[in-house]
Structure 1
Amino acid sequence: MGTAPAQLFPEWLAETFGLPGVLGEIVAALIAAAVVGNIVLGFTGVAGPWAKRKITAAFTDRIAVNRVGPFGLLIIPASAVQLLAKELIVPEGVDRPSWDIAPIILPASALLGFAVIPMGRLGPINFHLADPEVGFALVFAFASIASISLVMAGYASSNKYSLLGGLRAVAQNLAYEIPLIVTAMSVVIFAGTLQMSGIVGAQTETLITIAGFDIPAWYAFVNPFAFVLFLTANLAEIGRNPFDIPEAPTEIVAGYQTEYSSAYFVLFYLGEFVHIFLGGAILAVTFLGGASGPGPESIGFIWFVVKLWAFFLFTQWARSALPRVRIDQLIEIGWKGMLVLSFANLVLTAVIVGVIA
């Protein structure tokens, strides 16, 4: 299947509905952003209250939500009402407005990342908001803003467990964000561009044909070692097992979010799952061909969604199957293992591409 068309979602809206001039472009951009944002929020709304519980129950041989509506699906609005109806308790000694701003930054940073993610076509619509030449760098820049939120929440809460969670978040992000980006740069060397559509387009060719079946040139097949490195660092970046150190309920209660309740807790919970889907989106674009898959280009969005949910399923398997590492083990794995391996992969990739070119 080929790459997505050059026409972006806002451009399609402006042309289809006849929105002229700069004002029309602004209106089209806002509408397109609202559509994509609500799609992502819809995924998180299903994932958090319902899918997470059902998947975890299946992995651990338990019965999950099954009494509220068909298949327990009405637990989604029920949980939303339950959480938002709780009293917002502001502890004494918190540092406001930092305490108030921190829960907003976390989901906002992840939603910003989707601005440059090519999510593929569904019929005539190409779910891609913007395609700057440095889109690959922008998505990592947006995602890294989440660290600020965790540090602010931990520091502002005036709670030792929260402070420990914030400090752990900083240590974890420093240890794993560098290997994550360095590993991703090996993909940029292969593709020869930082533009997201270019990276996806470079993976649409056929790598090899086996028994009449074409294996696509996804970078997960071209460089599986880099794929495993990126997947591991990505788990640490989104804070899922075995790297859920910043909140570690059995050690530091809930870490950076210990003192948050009601709508503020919902924002942290929402931000956590939006970041999981952003991590899956980056992985899909970088190593799994983006929206490419069998069938016509007009159903690329469906394949992209399948890849997002496959990554979510993987994170829930990791949450159920893998024990949490200690903080000292996490730092050692990051600095002594992942960092060295990621630079070795980058150098080897550069040599291979240089020789081939």
Structure 2
Amino acid sequence: MGTAPAQLFPEFLVDTFGLPGVLGEVVAALIAAAVVGNIVLAFTGVAGPWAKRKITAAFTDRIAVNRVGPFGLLIIPASAVQLLAKELIVPEGVDRPTWDIAPVILPASALLGFSVIPMGRLGPINFQLADPEVGFALVFAFASIASVSLVMAGYASNNKYSLLGGLRAVAQNLAYEIPLIVTAMSVVIFAGTLQMSGIVGAQTTTLVTVAGIDIPAWYAFVNPFAFVLFLTANMAEIGRNPFDIPEAPTEIVAGYQTEYSSAYFVLFYLGEFVHIFLGGAILAVTFLGGASGPGPESIGFIWFVVKIWGFFLFTQWARSALPRVRIDQLIEIGWKGMLVLSFANLVLTAVIVGVIA
């Protein structure tokens, strides 16, 4: 089902530059990973210090950064210098090296997730590093490592607010990881494959034509109920409002990251935003046709970027518009609501696909 996948980015580099043997493949893989990683980090560099402030100000009728460079864009390097120049304070009683490792794991887990995401083509380049047959399972496995980082930070900080943040992260992950994956499995049933390119390819057909306009067979249109479930669970998974329980600044100061400063705080801050874009990328691949959109396939990367930035815009709207739920409400929504609905959706999808097939 769908079209054959284009040449992967590392393979393109091997053929283009004639890199010989296994060493050439390794070099090509490292170069491709560096390019994709820097693209994602550039998105987060713009989103965190600048776009987040501008979008939140627009939603709340305030004026955001507008004095440091054109449109306030120079706040990006200014904020980086400001944060990195701060003293790294290590509180007494922390459990090192656990305290040191935790900030590294959070962004690393999200960047690993992008290794199997088909980000589409830009000209002859296909921005996908690997396309294993179980890529769909791998991306969720990589993303779930983030919870380990939050638990490590909360436990190692020797701070009761940090510990509460870490415990909340575990509770939230358990409550929403299962509905997230179960809902995603309904997409796998439709596509008939766990391969990321296959899931995207299955959505390239036309679902229906209305007034001469072709509506694509994106799973958001095929099964909007599953799309809403997945979007809600995804928001909880990345810890965005109304599910920002692990940090909850008004309740537990900043939760798991209370005791972190300087470069370590930057890594946590960076990791949060990389995970937002990873969540948007997974949503785009599973329900929004990946890199597909109007125009030639060679500009698919642009459509993919539009979709993940659209998801980022949605998270910032939720941050400004939706109040945070209590921890007991969070658990009740997850176990009594999302879990039941996700399994009901899975069974219904299996029945429908079985009858049609």
CA contact (8 A) 1:3 1:200 kept: no
How far has the Cα of 1:2 moved from its partner? 7.5
How far has the Cα of 1:118 moved from its partner? 0.1
How far has the Cα of 1:79 moved from its partner? 0.1
The whole-number CA distance in structure 2 between the counterparts of 1:189 and 1:151 is 33
Secondary structure of the residue aligned to 1:208 is: strand
The whole-number CA distance in structure 2 between the counterparts of 1:4 and 1:45 is 34
Deviations 1:42-77 (Å, cap 9, x if unpaired)?
000000000000000000000000000000000000
CA contact (8 A) 1:4 1:126 kept: no
Superposition RMSD on alpha carbons, in Å?
Answer: 1.0
Deviations 1:316-346 (Å, cap 9, x if unpaired)?
0000000000000000000000000000000
CA contact (8 A) 1:205 1:217 kept: yes
The whole-number CA distance in structure 2 between the counterparts of 1:313 and 1:97 is 36
The whole-number CA distance in structure 2 between the counterparts of 1:287 and 1:226 is 9
CA contact (8 A) 1:2 1:297 kept: no
Change (3 A) 1:3 1:317: farther
Secondary structure of the residue aligned to 1:290 is: coil
Count of aligned pairs between the two proteins: 357
CA contact (8 A) 2:94 2:156 kept: yes
TM-score by length of 2: 0.99
Change (3 A) 1:334 1:257: same
How far has the Cα of 1:3 moved from its partner? 5.1
Change (3 A) 1:120 1:345: same
TM-score by length of 1: 0.99
CA contact (8 A) 1:124 1:298 kept: yes
How far has the Cα of 1:175 moved from its partner? 0.1
Name the structure 2 match of 1:10.
10
How far has the Cα of 1:5 moved from its partner? 3.9
CA contact (8 A) 1:57 1:64 kept: yes
Secondary structure of the residue aligned to 1:25 is: helix
Name the structure 2 match of 1:292.
292
Gaps of 5+ in 2: none
Secondary structure of the residue aligned to 1:145 is: helix
Secondary structure of the residue aligned to 2:67 is: coil
CA contact (8 A) 2:5 2:197 kept: no
Secondary structure of the residue aligned to 1:346 is: helix
CA contact (8 A) 1:116 1:129 kept: yes
The whole-number CA distance in structure 1 between the counterparts of 2:26 and 2:2 is 29
Deviations 1:86-105 (Å, cap 9, x if unpaired)?
00000000000000000000
The whole-number CA distance in structure 2 between the counterparts of 1:112 and 1:92 is 33
Deviations 1:222-258 (Å, cap 9, x if unpaired)?
0000000000000000000000000000000000000
How far has the Cα of 1:4 moved from its partner? 7.2
The whole-number CA distance in structure 2 between the counterparts of 1:256 and 1:190 is 39
CA contact (8 A) 1:179 1:338 kept: yes
CA contact (8 A) 2:107 2:267 kept: yes
Name the structure 2 match of 1:277.
277
Change (3 A) 1:2 1:346: closer
Identity within the alignment, %: 95
Dislocated runs of 4+, deviation >3 Å: 1-5
The whole-number CA distance in structure 2 between the counterparts of 1:232 and 1:16 is 42
The whole-number CA distance in structure 1 between the counterparts of 2:162 and 2:275 is 20
The whole-number CA distance in structure 1 between the counterparts of 2:336 and 2:186 is 20
Secondary structure of the residue aligned to 1:27 is: helix
How far has the Cα of 1:20 moved from its partner? 1.1
